[in-house]
Amino acid sequence: MTRPAARPVPFPAGARIFHRLFTRLGFHGRPPHFVAEFYPYANLTHTIRLVEDTAYVRLSDLLRAAPMPALEATAAILLSRLYRRSAPRAFVETYREFSLARATRRRLHHLRRKRGRRLAANPRGACFDLAEVFARLNRRYFHGQLHRPRLAWSPRPWRTQLGCFDPALNQIVLSSRLDCAVVPRYAVEYVLFHEMLHVKHAIRRASCGLQSHSREFRRQEKRFHLFERARRFLSTLA
């Protein structure tokens, strides 16, 4: 049985929060009419768009249980983005603390597992078989002990990233942009090796935020036998 899709939930109090922050931050002119709702995003995503004199706000429904300071910080950041101003540091820090809190990360992980897009396992591409590449890298660099997540090529070529590991969905996806004859095998191996290191090294809290590329991660990444050569080639794809 298919689970019914989650729906947006109106957030009338959100309009008052945004109106209050508009005045508090000293934006010039007449404030727009705010229409706010909680939206069932798979991530901690928030959007705002201005249509004539109405500002439509969508907040991740993960914020439904957020304390008022976090809601106000989100409003301040979105308003600053809308009016092309730098958000006040105090609000940025408040939002950062909320988003990095263990309880928030735990709930976000749950949302990703529930709503994130799980790609069908399709490791065999036109030129490269990710399952075969994974097995060889696993033997060479991880003693064959690394758990293999779902492996897939992206349905469409990605322009801004070449690969990603999503721990909530337990999947590694590489951009199908790499699955072509002009891309050398060592470049595909390096990108997959990088994502395999993310499987081994969990994201952790650090003083500067969430740290996914720790010093140890970077040290192990350089063990790849054609590290510099692969990075030079991949830089040409930018």
Among 58-62, 186-190, 198-202, the minimum mean pLDDT is found in 198-202
Tokens of 11: 């957030």
Give tens-digit pLDDT for 33-77. 999 999 998 888 999 999 999 999 999 999 999 999 999 999 999
> What pLDDT score was predicted for residue 2?
43
Residue 163 has pLDDT above 70, yes or no: yes
Find all residues with CB under 8 Å of 35, minimum gap 6, and list them: 15, 54, 55, 56, 57
Domain, as residue range, for 88: 9-115
Whether residues 166 and 140 share a domain: the answer is yes
Whether residues 99 and 138 share a domain: the answer is no
Q: Which amino acid is at 35?
A: V
Whether residues 200 and 160 share a domain: the answer is yes
> What pLDDT score was predicted for residue 78?
97
How many domains, the chain? Answer: 2
Give tens-digit pLDDT for 209-236. 333 667 888 899 999 999 999 999 999 9
Whether residues 106 and 159 share a domain: the answer is no
Residues 20-42 as b/e (b if ≥16 CB within 10 A, e otherwise) read ebbeebebeeeebebbbbbbbbb
The answer to whether residue 173 is domain-embedded is yes
Instruction: Tell me the β-bridge partners of 35.
Output: 56
For residue 11, the surrounding DSSP H or E stretch is none
**Mapping DSSP to helix (H, G, I), strand (E, B) and coil, where does residue 169 land?**
coil
Give tens-digit pLDDT for 85-97. 999 999 999 999 9
Alpha-helix runs per DSSP H in the chain: 12-24, 68-82, 89-100, 102-115, 130-142, 185-200, 215-221, 227-235
Whether residues 172 and 223 share a domain: the answer is yes
The answer to whether residue 49 is domain-embedded is yes
Whether residues 80 and 155 share a domain: the answer is no
Q: How far is CA 162 from CA 45, 165, 236, in A?
A: 22, 11, 12
The answer to whether residue 177 is domain-embedded is yes
Instruction: Tell me the β-bridge partners of 36.
Output: 57
Whether residues 149 and 84 share a domain: the answer is no
Task: Give the CATH number, domain containing residue 192.
Answer: 3.30.2010.10
Whether residues 99 and 147 share a domain: the answer is no
pTM of the model: 0.61
Whether residues 148 and 173 share a domain: the answer is yes
